[in-house]
Structure 1
């Protein structure tokens, strides 16, 4: 998916992305040119509309390039699932843009009251990745006087972004809180992701939503972990001559430890991709996915993330004082891995 020139370009901005807390314009331009926020958007809306297994590989590779970049590619594309739940004209307006990006939350932490033609919504939602470059915001709110919860779409001018993302990893994702106060949302800008209308149709939109979301996030975590193992090996190789001179046996010991931790991680990743491919093939053939397969997939998402984190923690202890310096690539990747794997669908 990413040629070496693109990898080098994005990684050349990794330090800046972390310090600024958001993607640079140069990296956003790569995303827009390659339509990386539109992997699940129909071609009619200038999207790429990928099969799920292909998109999973893109998410993994993007996160391997850079954690914050990969996280936002995955979150941005995942919102394409909303295309088929929104009213067609509104979906076309939202997703037809070259620079479309939806920041949002599934937490029902807002309140809405029905009025003529729509709703008045007030609320505040945390952890909305990509909030600084969003072209639209979505969030859930409870409709007062009912037991209904709707998803609402807000325009950027209706939203106040509260810059409070101070996590120790994925710093470049600008996953800030946003709030709205007495914002009017027309009826046609509400939707329910669990009750799609399939105005735009594709097998992706029929795949069970929770396993779909878990697989996307797991792929991102896997990609960051791949980068961590590679960077750990590179660091150890760079110290080989020094260690062999002053600490005989250390190079061999640490190399062995990396291999010991990476092997079970790779095994879980292989199982993950095999099950994604198999369930997707069944799904496309019109076969109902079994509850057991869906449970297995969600457990593999968790176990792959678990192997990645536990392996990284063990290896980290062997890498010396340089590994604790936040300015190093290894340290940033280590922190990104822990931040990504903390998502509720992976624990």
Structure 2
């Protein structure tokens, strides 16, 4: 039988996360009390190498934890997922730099995967310019990761086998300028704002490549393909939000069945049956997803298992969206009020599910 996400979280943690979720939305970033809990539990460090003091979770442990956190609150779960995902880069960053970054127990990496910057070689390093959007958790970050196209002194892009030469960099947060850019209906507390960099020189040891052969830490998690890791962690977030929405529907439906303007017995039964069907469908997708993750983790070199992770991640993301949409009309105006948790979860999942990585089944 598939576990419920709540089984992985202490009741005190859930209380802290949810009590401060409205305040986090008002702030446009995680509430200080939520952030304190994140630091206490080292959730930003779930993928940081143990040699640097990180937790170095296995992939199955990671996705279950992230699903649970997104069940507690979508914005917190997403922020932890994206920032801990950037901590994964610790396995590929030059050790002397990684040690410097992660000696801070509150170290947090945020960034964007878009290659919207340029890097020009100069003086044992690079001159960085560019702007990037949607860096979840950037307000809590101590360091920023970026992707740049390498260009020559005249600004002409360098290529490898006809393709642009792209490198990843890790910079101190002081090197970037934050810009207000997150104005969407959901995931408000992720603080996924934009940032820019102008003529900043970084040493060549601040560049890294995210491929197994370039890893400095020889551990299974840093040999796992980054694409499937990203797909699985994002799908786990959508799953957690959907499970939370289904949970919240129980109270909403019971209220509609018993209040003074209650629905008929037949319609009350229809709502409850719809919820039970949603639970069965969602749990089946979750079970297939976690099974695929487990198999791929046990045999990282098996291409079929990796493809199954991609496939089940996309199916779970689609079913999470469809499950919420199926139940939403039965919730009444309660689900349309921006002050309710039900509405916040609806806004969060319909914003997070717009991520391009999980939009298409192929």
Match of 1:40 among 47, 51, 56: 47
The 1:196–1:155 alpha-carbon spacing in structure 2 relative to 1, beyond 3 Å, is farther
Task: Establish whether residue 140 from structure 1 lines up as the match of residue 147 from structure 2.
Answer: yes
1:312 corresponding residue in structure 2: 324
Q: CA 1:163/1:323 → structure 2, altered by over 3 Å: closer, same or farther?
A: same
Instruction: Quote how far apart the aligned CAs of 1:196 are.
Output: 4.8
What does 1:6-155 align with in structure 2 at a 5 Å threshold? 6-145=13-152, 146-147=158-159, 148-155=165-172
| Residue in structure 2 matched with residue 230 of structure 1 by the alignment | 247
Indicate if the aligned counterparts of 1:244 and 1:250 stay in contact, CA closer than 8 A.
no
Give the distance between the partners of 1:38 and 1:207, measured in 2 at CA.
Answer: 17
TM-score w.r.t. length of structure 1? 0.95
**1:133 Cα shift?**
1.2
How far the C-alpha of 1:195 sits from its partner, in A, is: 5.7
2:233 to 202, 216, 236: 216
SS class of match (1:188): helix
Please, which of 329, 334, 342 is the counterpart of residue 346 of structure 2?
334
Counterparts of 1:52 and 1:224, CA distance in 2: 19
Runs of 4+ in structure 1 deviating by more than 6 angstroms, as ranges, are: none
Structure 1 position 257, deviation (Å): 1.3
Partners of 2:212 and 2:222 within 8 A in 1: no
Give 1:238 deviation, angstroms.
2.9
Name the CA distance, whole Å, in 2 between partners of 1:270 and 1:246. Answer: 34
Q: What TM-score results when the alignment is normalised by the length of structure 2?
A: 0.91
Gaps of 5+ in 2: 1-7, 153-157, 160-164
Helix, strand or coil: the match of 1:151? strand
Distance in 2, Cα, partners of 1:241 & 1:159? 55
Q: Provide the rounded CA distance (Å) in 2 between the counterparts of 1:134 and 1:236.
A: 40
- In the alignment, what sits opposite 1:206? 223
Q: Distance in 2 between matches of 1:336 and 1:246?
A: 28
Shift of 1:44: 2.3
Give the corresponding residue for 1:322.
334
Following superposition, the deviation at residue 255 of structure 1 comes to 0.9
Match of 2:4 in 1: none
Comparing 234-243 with 70-79, greater Cα deviation is found at 234-243
Aligned-partner Cα distance in 2 for 1:196–1:64: 35
Q: 1:69 to 1:346 in 2, by over 3 A?
A: same
Aligned-partner Cα distance in 1 for 2:82–2:51: 21
Question: Structure 1's 246 and 61: CA in aligned 2 closer, same or farther, altered over 3 A?
Answer: closer
> 1:69 Cα shift?
0.6
Answer yes or no: is the 8 Å Cα contact 1:39–1:77 preserved in 2. Answer: yes
Asked if structure 2 preserves the Cα contact closer than 8 Å seen for 1:243 and 1:250, the reply is no
Q: CA deviation at 1:307?
A: 0.7
Matched positions, count: 342
Q: Which residue is equivalent to 1:159? A: 176
Deviations 1:63-119 (A, max 9, x none): 011001100111111112211211101011112321111111111101111101101
Query: 1:244 touches 1:251 (CA, 8 Å); kept in 2?
Result: no
Question: Equivalent residue for 2:200?
Answer: 183
1:260 pairs with one of 277, 280, 286:
277
Distance in 2, matches of 1:187 and 1:20, equals: 36
1:335 offset after TM fit, Å? 0.9
CA shift for structure 1 position 248: 3.4
Of residues 276, 285, 302 in structure 2, which corresponds to 1:289?
302
Match of 2:10 among 3, 8, 14: 3
Further displaced range: 6-15 or 91-100: 91-100
Distance 1:75 1:109 in 2: 19
Distance 2:103 2:232 in 1: 26
SS in 1 for 2:227: helix
Distance 1:245 1:91, change over 3 A: closer
